[in-house]
Every structure is written in C-alpha cells, then in structure tokens.
C-alpha cells in the first residue's frame, strides 16, 4: 500500500530527526561545559535549521497521515498511529506499532537530553548571577532599562549587560 509505505518512511525520518536533535542537545551541553562560544554559535545555527526542517517534515507527515486515514476509514483528526494500526491490522499494524514505539523512545531520549542541557544552562545562569552579585555587592537587585538591558549600580559605577 503506497500511502502506508510513505507513512512508514516519514516516521523513520522523524525518528532520525529526533535522534539528531538529541545529539545536538548533547553537543550544546558539551559546548557549554567547554566554554566553546564558536562551537555554540555553530550548534545554535544548526538547531535553527533543524527546526525549519522539522516543521516542513511535520506538514508532510500530516498530509501522509490524512491520506492513510482515508484508506483506513478514519477521520483525519482521529488518525493516531494506534488507531491506524487497529484499523489496518496485520503486518501494517505491526509496522505502525513498531514506529510508534521507536518514536516514543526517541522522544524520551530527546526529553532527557533537553532536561540535562536545561539543567546545566540554569546552573550556569545561577552561578553567573551569584558572581555578579558578589562583584557588585549584595542588597541591590538588577533593574531593567527601557531598552531591555540589565543595569545595576555599584559604588558610583554602572554595570550594564544586554539581555
């Protein structure tokens, strides 16, 4: 069945994209740990490109899923992988359930990598905040200017940092 083969192929690509995003998250975390600003800039650029590709692939996957939903006599808005597998049965159901499990595993892996990266970034921000407080003196919190910069006053001097 042509539509099903397209769907399975698109799902395989989705799993690979999720895996690549997890690898990218890991590389971002490692770049932060190494304090490699050049690598981080490149990785962030690659992440933006990956986001654009993911949006286009999501639209393609949605179109294919709608087509397969029609073959399975399901409304397009209710055509989840589980429902498609149940409606199609046989080898198609086995293949769809396999892709569903692989997708779930890839999403969980991406969640773990994202959480680890977010934890590291949060820790770095907190450390920098404490360092700035120590350098500027305790008691005075930052103030924000109309242009979006953080301004803190310390002993007749002004420290500015763009946000």
pLDDT surpassing 60 at residue 147: yes
Least Cα distance to 117 among 43, 50, 59, 7 occurs for 43
Based on its alpha-carbon atoms, the radius of gyration of the chain, rounded to whole angstroms, reads 23
- How far is the C-alpha of 161 from the C-alpha of 135, rounded, in Å? 14
| Residue found under tokens 């999720």 | 18
Digit-coded pLDDT (tens) for 71-104: 888 898 888 999 999 998 999 999 999 999 999 9
- How far is the C-alpha of 89 from the C-alpha of 5, rounded, in Å? 15
pLDDT surpassing 70 at residue 163: no
pLDDT surpassing 70 at residue 63: yes
User: Average pLDDT in the 40-63 region?
Assistant: 90
Instruction: Specify the pLDDT at position 155.
Output: 44
Digit-coded pLDDT (tens) for 104-127: 999 999 999 999 999 998 888 888
Least Cα distance to 132 among 163, 89, 96 occurs for 163
Instruction: Specify the pLDDT at position 143.
Output: 63
Confidence of residue 135 (pLDDT cuts 50, 70, 90): confident
């Amino acid at each position: 069945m042509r539509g099903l083969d397209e769907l399975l192929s698109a799902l395989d690509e989705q799993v690979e994209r999720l895996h690549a995003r997890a690898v990218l998250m890991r590389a971002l975390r490692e770049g932060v740990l190494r304090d490699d600003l050049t690598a981080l800039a490149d990785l962030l650029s690659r992440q933006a490109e990956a986001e654009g590709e993911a949006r286009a692939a999501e639209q393609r996957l949605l179109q294919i899923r709608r087509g397969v939903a029609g073959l399975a006599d399901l409304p397009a808005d209710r055509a989840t992988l589980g429902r498609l597998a149940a409606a199609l049965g046989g080898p198609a159901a086995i293949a769809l359930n396999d892709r569903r499990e692989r997708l779930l595993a890839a999403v969980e892996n991406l969640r773990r990598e994202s959480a680890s990266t977010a934890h590291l970034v949060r820790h770095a921000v907190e450390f920098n905040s404490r360092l700035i407080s120590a350098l500027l003196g305790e008691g005075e919190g930052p103030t924000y200017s109309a242009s979006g910069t953080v301004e803190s006053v310390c002993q007749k001097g002004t420290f500015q940092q763009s946000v």
